[in-house]
Amino acid sequence: MTCPARLPDPLARAVADPKAYADMDTLHQTFAVIRRDYPFARAELPDYEPFWAACKFEDIQSIARQNEIFLSGLGALTPRASALGLTDQGFRSIVGMNPPDHGKYRVLTQGWLAPKNIRKLETDMRALARRYVDRMADSGGEIDFVGEIAVHYPLLVVMAILGVPPQDEPMMLRLTQEYFGNADEDLTRGGARTAEEIRIGLMETIAEVSDYFRRITEDRRRAPADDLASVIANARIDGELMPELDSLGYYITIAFAGHDTTSSSVAGGLWALAERPEELAKVKADPALIPGLVEESIRWTTPVQQFTRVAARDAEVRGQTVRKGEQVALCFPSGNRDEEVFEDPFAFRVDRNPIRHVAFGYGAHQCLGMHLARMEMAIFWEELLPRLKSVELAGSPKRTITNFVGGPKTLPVRFEMA
């Protein structure tokens, strides 16, 4: 199918602008228009490099599958360097690697995060989930679910897997929020507002993270332990210890993305249930629906909102020619509401079957931690739902201002527990 080649500027702006992702209801309406009229089209905005927006489920999967044609980029769309003043971030992440490096780096932790290996974490994970359910029960029946529960439980799980001290949790949470929320003045370092303040704050955050994990690396090389930090610190690539910039990128991927995406999905799921008591009643009556609740929460929230690919050569998508060097933005929230793939895509259904989504990405770069995320979420719901009698919104939730990784920023809820 051939489609119009040029995406109108107002629609292109919505795809690129981090502020648009703070109002997902409006953005989903925009994506619906794009899917209908401009399913794969080129955007030309004055403050962004030209990019193609892939908004259909099929196209997102096809592009992600062609790993040697559409190379992994630097994450989400960012303004031109002249507009924001951003420079090299000072590390190299596995999510931005391409063959042959990507495969060499991915295999280092792939087995560690496989389902058969993470099952040994279930007892400790369940105890931690129960602790936070108890915290809910003791809160008096009204809390900000994000600030009090959702951001803490997955973070402590990831910190335990990495092997970093639990007392460092406040620092790790702050650094994660500063990194992914660098366009959100509520989360930026020091409340940065101007482009220059944001740039300086982001560089300071990365420098602090770098210093922290450099010390972790030195410690694990002296005394390796049974944790992922030891795997990363002592990993060898082509016979040599992993370069420092690469190891920093690996730590950031595991420590930051490994918990922020899960906390967003848990919060997004509870937000949906708070607005749909009939869905809460379904899953409470039939715990066998919990895996479906997990997948629907991930589809519904889609915490990784976009990733860019760069064409290694000229290629054709939906009748359009993408030239070598051009960017393609994979718009995951749009793909996860595609009317051609999902029946009633704007409904939240705990019994949706089957659930195919692209929230974990697709192809060679599919999320390394997806099995861990599913397990964390399932255990949390298994602990919460038998005790949760009712839940409703106690105010207006807010979402993070970001076009990269994010979700609910606040979620005030009122609830009754058994």
Separation of alpha carbons 202 and 204, rounded Å = 5
Q: Which residues of the chain have pLDDT under 70?
A: 1-4, 74, 81-90, 192
- Give residue 192's pLDDT: 64
- Give residue 14's pLDDT: 97
- Give residue 83's pLDDT: 40
- Give residue 315's pLDDT: 96
Long-range contacts of 35-41 (CB under 8 A, 24+ apart): 35/334, 35/338, 35/339, 37/3, 37/4, 38/3, 38/4, 38/7, 38/8, 38/11, 39/1, 39/3, 39/318, 40/3, 40/317, 40/318, 40/320, 41/3, 41/4, 41/5, 41/6, 41/7, 41/320
Q: Which two tokens stand for residue 206?
A: 């990365």
User: Which candidate, 390, 124, 151, 387, places its Cα nearest to that of 263?
Assistant: 151
What residue type is 411 in one-letter code? L
Q: pTM of this prediction? A: 0.92
Reduce the DSSP state of residue 276 to 3 states and report it: coil
pLDDT tens digits along 301-312 = 999 999 999 999
- Give residue 4's pLDDT: 61
Reduce the DSSP state of residue 211 to 3 states and report it: helix
